[in-house]
A and B are shown apart, each in its own frame.
Chain A
Amino acid sequence: MNLLNSNFVRAAAVVVGVAASATIAHAGQISGAGATFPYPIYAKWAQAYQAKTGMGLNYQSIGSGGGIKQIQAKTVTFGASDKPLKSDVLDKYGLAQFPMIMGGIVPIVNVEGIKPGELVIDGETLANIFLGKISKWNDPEIAAINPGVNLPSKSIAVVHRSDGSGTTFNFTNYLNKVSSSWKSTVGSDTSVQWPVGIGAKGNEGVANMVKQTGDSIGYVEYAYAKQNALSYTKMKNKEGHVVAPTSDAFQAAAANADWAHAPGYRLILTDQPGAGSWPITAASFILMYKKPVDDKASSEALKFFEWAYHNGGDAAASLDYIPMPMSVVKMVEDTWQKDIKDSHGKALAFR
């Protein structure tokens, strides 16, 4: 057959050849997917870890909902979620869960003339904005807690997440705690039925959309606000103090955490007591199979986490994440030893 002549055939041979050899040369790589909340720090760790060990981490930030789904579907070695799963769900799928990093969720605004940290907001007001009850920036309720701030008479453009999101889970969990009308009409989960606003994908998407859209408000993990110089707000916390989103404020909230007594490390850190506590603080979790499909890949993943716990603190601090305290790391390592076993029933190596 002289069809399309032999060049075509030759090209085909080359591609098939490359394909075959590529399949054999399986490069070392850990695959994970999930939460966008910790993505900036995971990406930073991954780069440093690859430079050191040659082992890459392919982490796709597709949202916590995605992380939960993909680990259940066993398409990844680990899933990541900012919504901790309950023990019965963990047992049902045979999953181990442990916290990896903590951080703060901050409201971000794009209003002309408003500088980062200039606006103060409390839980009730935040809930009313996201319920659509407050629709103008110069609403008396906002003005009352912001004396002296020049608020425009513009409509508020609300930006929320469109994907299943642990950031949304923690954000709505907080609104649930502070607003009864939020609790009765919307509720709390990784994705909810938003009364108003536009949806954006991931923390990245919300940050981008707020940046793009004038007079808007959204909520993101603090690293996204910081890296992109977005105007975050201060917040009034449980004890009525106005706090700025800083690592100290996140740390203060995290200090209340009692990891030792939480089954499956299931802890939610919103609306914590303490004068300096940031009200929407959250931990991000890793989900892994107790009996992994691929022992070697899972072992490599644990080695990465182990490295990140012990060597990733500075990188975390530079992005204002809060590393897990060493006491918690010790507990997590014990959990690994105890729960995550290879096909012969032996604990997976992580050092």
Chain B
Amino acid sequence: MSGAEENTFPTGPATPDDGTAGPRSWIGKAFSSVSLSAAIIVMLSLGGVMYTLSIGAAPALKEFGLGFLTAEVWNPVTSQFGAAAPIAGTLETALIAMLIGVPISVGIAIFLTELCPEKLRHGFAITIELLAGIPSIIYGIWGLFVLAPYMQRHIQPFLIDRFGDIPIIGNLFQGPPYGIGILTAGLILGVMVLPFITTVTRDVFLTVPSLQRESAYALGATTTEVIWNVVIPYSKVGMLGAIMLGLGRALGETMAVTFVIGNAHRISASILAPGTTISASIANEFTEATTPIYTSSLFALGLILFVITFIVLSVAQYMLHRIKKAEG
């Protein structure tokens, strides 16, 4: 065993450990190498994903260069492909999801840690966590059959009538009410990320030392002031990690979005307009892309999504790791 052994239990040479002596020492050797191989397989699978995507994406990136990122065109007839529309759609829907999801998640986390009667706390927390277990396709089918018609009949006409004529902001609310589109997809994503952000935020809030909390109360602070001046400052980094985790989910979510996004390779100013996201484009077109360059462009989309989520998730891991360390 090499450096991997250092600093872990057991440390001293006194342990009759793996493979140095004893009649059945090979078992120890075998066991540690098998578990090491398993860990390596896990790492290899991420490497494999990266490798496959890069190889698949190479022809498209060679053909279109960096212009692939900024071109809005997506035309299988002329074999011209650009990722701008799906990238924009991915970011837009994720942004809407965060605008809805973050304040509400933090609100729920506050409720769960500071307000909720002790008896109900556990039940509420589990219920919210169960919301995280609902498969995304369920959100999708519900979004299509329940939310979208409601949006088309009530919310979107209201938004168009109310805000459509205001300069600048009005551009966000233009076009026919389709029901489905960027806004509807963002809303669904917002609901989907709620449980993820809530659960992690609540865990982070719970790491705030009760001593600090109680001292503030003793000084006469209201609950709100304790939250704003003690809990949130203490949990800042962890909250950011939780939000990034939620963002990572929102960026990569496929099924819930595919049902309600409208699958149109266009960038519109209006959030009521149909659009597409990276994952929805792949889900819709991957099995049917007829030419190699079309397939490669979809791989390039996959690679972009992978890079974006990789960065976001890395930041999330870093932040949550820091919180864990601080916690001891």
Contact = CB atoms under 8 A, between A and B. Distances in A.
Whether A and B touch directly in their complex, counting CB atoms under 8 A apart, is answered as yes
Interface of A: 62-63, 65-66, 68-70, 135, 154-157, 162-164, 187-194, 197-201, 209, 212-215
9 contacts: A63-B288, A68-B290, A156-B176, A164-B76, A189-B76, A191-B76, A198-B264, A199-B262, A214-B179
Q: Give the secondary structure class of A's interface.
A: loop
Interface in B238-287: 262-266, 274, 276, 284-285, 287
B74 A193 contact: yes
B170 interface: no
B302 interface: no
Contacts of B276: 199
A66 B288 contact: yes
Give the 9 A-B residue pairs with the shortest CB-CB distance, closest first.
Answer: A155-B176, A199-B263, A66-B288, A162-B263, A198-B262, A189-B77, A65-B288, A198-B274, A164-B288
Contacts of A65: 76, 288-290
B101 interface: no
Contacts of B78: 187
A154 B177 CA distance: 10
B191 interface: no
B74 to A, nearest CB: 7
B77 A157 contact: no
B153 A214 contact: yes
User: Which of B144, B148, B149, B289 gathers most chain A CB within 10 Å?
Assistant: B289
B263 A70 contact: no
Nearest to A188: B77
A163 B78 CA distance: 16
Contacts of A62: 287-288
Given A63-B288, A199-B284, A212-B148, 14 more contacts: A65-B289, A66-B288, A69-B289, A157-B178, A162-B285, A163-B284, A192-B76, A198-B262, A212-B144, A212-B145, A212-B149, A212-B179, A214-B153, A214-B179
A187 B284 contact: no
A83 B113 CA distance: 61
B76 A201 contact: no
A190 B76 contact: yes
Given A164-B76, A193-B73, A135 B176 contact: yes
B263 A191 contact: no
A70 B288 CA distance: 8
Nearest to B275: A198
A187 B77 contact: yes
Interface residues of B, number: 33
A226 B78 CA distance: 34
Contacts, number: 89
B75 A164 contact: no
Contacts of A191: 76-77
B287 A69 contact: yes
B285 A164 contact: yes
A62 B265 CA distance: 19
Nearest to A159: B178
B204 to A, nearest CB: 32
A69 B266 CA distance: 25
B152 interface: yes
Contacts of B152: 213-214
B301 interface: no
B113 to A, nearest CB: 34
B264 A164 contact: no
B177 A199 contact: no
Interface in B285-304: 285, 287-290, 295
B181 interface: yes
B64 to A, nearest CB: 16
Contacts of A199: 262-264, 274, 276, 284
A66 B287 contact: yes
Contacts of A164: 76, 285, 288-290
Contacts of B106: none
Given A164-B285, A198-B181, A190 B262 contact: no
Contact of A163 (B73, B77, B175, B285): B285
